[in-house]
Chain A
Amino acid sequence: MAGSPDLAVRKEENSFEHAIRLEHVEKFFGPIHALRDITLSIGKNEIVGLIGDNGAGKSTLIKVMTGVLAPSSGRIFVRDKEIDLADYSVRMAHDLSIETVYQDKSLAEQQPLWRNFFVGRQITNRFGFIDVKREKQVAAEMLLSSIGFRGVGITVDSTVSQLSGGERQGIAIGRAMHYNADVIVLDEPTVALAVKEVRKVLDFIRRIKASGRACVYIEHNLAHVHEVADRLIVLDRGAVVAEIEPRNMSVPDLTEYLIKLQQHTA
């Protein structure tokens, strides 16, 4: 596991066009039709915002994408290669360089940052003993270079509980980037954060793009997602109802559009 501190630009080994592509994906929970004929693709270096009302199927969609849930039917391609859905799992998604950052389930509160960086993929000798010195060193490099925590007074020995909400998202995103994820899925990273913290998180999301990766970003707050996303996918009742380029639509127009959508389908 190379601990390269320079994460600015990814190596150009990626000759694929789409990081993830779904074709005609359906998901039923018993009689409930949660996802209806979803066809979408995530380019290899774009930020895609996933928006829609509560219950529109955003969470179900990313769970299908990241191997947590199996779709009822349809096809999933990762880096243009079709996945055998019978085998698809979170573990496999990791192996395929898809990382998910959950709002509050990504880091263990009482553990130091260096352990949080490496847990699950520790640098160990063959008996499973952790190379603490090396892990701390790589974690420190990560803190400085990819997350940019220079001089904030946070060290690799700090526990997660000492961090603010935005910093936590930064650590989790930085970790995903360190593991060379092609796609980083963010599940409402700005929920319950102060304005200043939201700024930080949006900066982290820009870093994902700057480093050549793709990002799928679920968000309730239209202003936030409008600011960073290259493309917005609107879900309603389990179906993709629109794709919007934020640069062609202002936040008030977008809000108006979504309200109309609600009334139209209600």
Chain B
Amino acid sequence: MRRLCAMIAATLSVAGCAFCQGADWLTDGGNPQRTAWQKDEKIFNPENVRNMKLLWKIKLDNEPRQMHSLFPPLIINRVNTGAGPKQLLIEAGVSDNIYAIDAETGEVVWKKHFETGFTPPPNGGRGAGILCPGGQTATPVIGPSGTPGRYTIYAASWDGRLHQLNASDGEDIAPPAKFMPSNGKPYALNLWKNVLYTHTAQGCGGNPNVVYAYDLATGKVGTWGPAGGGMWGRSGPAISSSGVMYTGTGDGRWDPENGVFGNGIIGVKQDPATKALKLDDYYGPSNAEWLVKRDLDMQVTPAIFNYKGRELMVDAGKECRVYLMDTESIGGDDHRTPLYRTPLLCNEDVNFASAGIWGSMATWEDSKGTRWVLTPIWGPKHSAFKAPVEYGEVKDGAIVAFKVEEKSGKLQLTPAWVSRDMNRAEPPVIANGVVFAYGNGEDTDQAYPDVGLADVAERRIPGSTHAVLYALDAVTGKELWSSGDQIASWNHWTGLSVGNGHVYIGTYDSNLYCFGIKK
């Protein structure tokens, strides 16, 4: 009998039995702390990932808007559907679409399109453009309902309303509710203790750039801001164990004495009684004046992690440094002093586009207890930055890995490796010793030698090529696998999702690709 059970367990494990001990990816960045670490991955490993193949791809009927198309799909390991339990991907499209896709077959199980009565004005607010594409701009978030196999999808549509959908069939669990002004640009939703968090940027729709917190229990929405030019971390806000929501504040003046927090990092927390958001902490780099002068935004979603009993955070910006902070006091007594600040990793030319750190951070802990921090970089590596292990010249981007270490009683980020060159490296995901990363193939230039600033999709789309997905050894950075030319198109402002032996990536042409270990 025991041998029979062992055989069954082994069979199910080889078959990638997600139902048994499967992995979810319920939010952008994997978890509220935005570590991008798929801790529950049991199938991928550095050996078998070399055999990864394209398992399926599906073209969805989502219309791109400007350069936006599909968001990182969320993964629910086991959902009770009308056709039985399934592993579902919840894929959001910018044109107010939500798709539930069977993770094994790549077939659409259900689709929801948010009907809206919103009519955009001709030149409302910032008006239509790459920075303000309109449509659904926030990756949804999924919360358990309390019933096994039943999940609620929370999504914000173009008209600013909150939708709560049954993951089983896409039906509304509650009527769409007023949340934010329409035509704004919220970023990936986060869910913490029954409160949804997001923040907005670019002043889209004429809306101020603020933090939003939707209290699901009371239906009250708290706001805080503005803060600088906007909060546009790729994966939205990160939330600490004490419920403080952190984000970079983009571009703007740093003048905390007068309540202005541009080009820094803020932490806000909900007052549980009033539901108001209050400023809890803040950090402004000592060279904030320089950062705003050169448009070197603090615009990266931070990652929060435990390190030897302390809750630490890493963040970055276009200048191309990484900051290590303690959530007890992210900027120290003067709010200008993090635990550690790296030298410049890239952006030697001091450019506001096509260089620097964009998107989100990532962090994981290996089996030996070493804490790793990873960041994507765009453009050439800085000539003065060196890592012990590098894989050739970096011209267009790479993943840079650090170890968190203590030296002379102080914490620091010690360079570990720099990956191979990638065409605009994007935020990685770590799963069971493998770093999944990709170059998005996007033309990220915003200015030109003749006319200067001219950031329009008509110029950038023709210059974009195609994304390339990579699997790297998480300890050494060595390339283990590449998608080569298999991905036909590029993408903009999306990300990877990893779970149960699959990795997913969407492209501008609304194709969703699934690579994985073939059973």
Task: Decide whether A and B are members of one complex.
Answer: no
- Spell out B's residues near A (CB within 8 Å): none
